[in-house]
Amino acid sequence: MLILVFVVGCGVDADVSRTVGARCDTKDDCNERCLVDADDYPGGICSVSCMDVRDCPGDTACVDDEGGVCLFVCDSDADCEFMGPGWRCDSRDARPDSAGEVKVCRG
């Protein structure tokens, strides 16, 4: 609940959950996937697999990382501060490949 209050207070409307955004160490901490690469996903992040943005919950985009995962969209590093230390806003290839790039929170 504190994370959600912090997010709303910063003007970022991200819905952190076991689907997308919660910190994790293993898949069992999430509804589907736990991304744990320390450089790309500091502290681990729950996510879901996707083929395109229609597979992703609101405020997330489907990027061509890890075979297609949903990550929070952003405009600047400040939009990713709610995720904790080490997170920043980064351009990634969107899925499908023809969709160009999208800015998402990553390590």
**Tokens found for residue 51:** 């083929």
Residue whose tokens read 């980064």: 90
Q: How far is CA 50 from CA 54, 83, 95, in A?
A: 8, 21, 8
Looking at residue 32, its pLDDT comes to 96
**Tokens found for residue 72:** 């929070």
Q: In a structure prediction context, what are the per-residue pLDDT tens digits for the chain, which is 107 residues long?
A: 333 333 333 334 567 899 999 999 999 999 999 999 989 999 999 999 999 999 999 999 999 999 999 999 999 999 999 999 999 999 999 998 777 999 999 99
Residue whose tokens read 């501060």: 81
Looking at residue 1, its pLDDT comes to 33
Would you report the helix, strand and coil content of the chain in percent, each value rounded to 5? 20, 30, 50
Q: Which of 22, 18, 14, 24 is nearest to 75 (CA)?
A: 14
pTM: 0.84
Looking at residue 81, its pLDDT comes to 95
